[in-house]
Copies of this chain bind each other. A is one copy, B any other.
Amino acid sequence: MDSRFYTFIAGDTGQWKIVAVHVVTGQPLETAPRLDIQNADLREPPTGLRWLLRGVTSNQRYVTRPEQSSLVASQAGLGRPEATCAALIPITKTAAWWLLAQDERRDIFEARSSHIATGLRYLPAVARRLHHSRDLGEPFDFLTWFEYAPSDAPAFDELVTSLRATEEWNYVEREVDIRLIRDDNRVA
């Protein structure tokens, strides 16, 4: 069985070169030359490690069937040759968010913040994979990985700016925005 676990390793090696680290809210995260992504639940710190973040892909938590169908019809996969730009955005939500009932979180997420509808407007240009980290005891609740072509970088900036202006983002207490470019040399 394929692993649903992913480990993001910031250090001296990896296919992705870190070009910017912007602390949006809360505690910073150290910068590093490179990011390596392994499809495994890695716990042993590799050499040259600055930090390591773990996450797991999982079932949808808020998406309805019609929304899911729209997403599947529009979205692109990761690894497109032209998608040489990427972003890793780790986020932690507040305790108040996690104490809300499911219907309250859904209302804020979509009815009042249009998270899914906004994301749909940027498909298929922006490909993404969401990793859940909260229940692994990690410092962040979510790690979202995005890939896009250089020509879509302004659209990606518009997307994250839109989301950060929503009611949902009042519940974000930590967010770091890491931008990367693919570089197959794999070393700093």
Contact = CB atoms under 8 A, between A and B. Distances in A.
A5 to B, nearest CB: 7
Contact of A104 (B56, B62, B65, B102): B65
B135 A135 contact: yes
B135 A56 contact: yes
Contacts of A98: 59
Tier of interface size on chain A: 20 to 34
A111 interface: no
A137 B5 contact: yes
Interface string A153-181: 00000000000000000000000000000
A171 to B, nearest CB: 12
A67 B100 CA distance: 12
Given A59-B98, A98-B59, A103 B134 contact: no
Interface in A4-34: 4-5
A49 interface: no
A123 to B, nearest CB: 17
B135 A61 contact: no
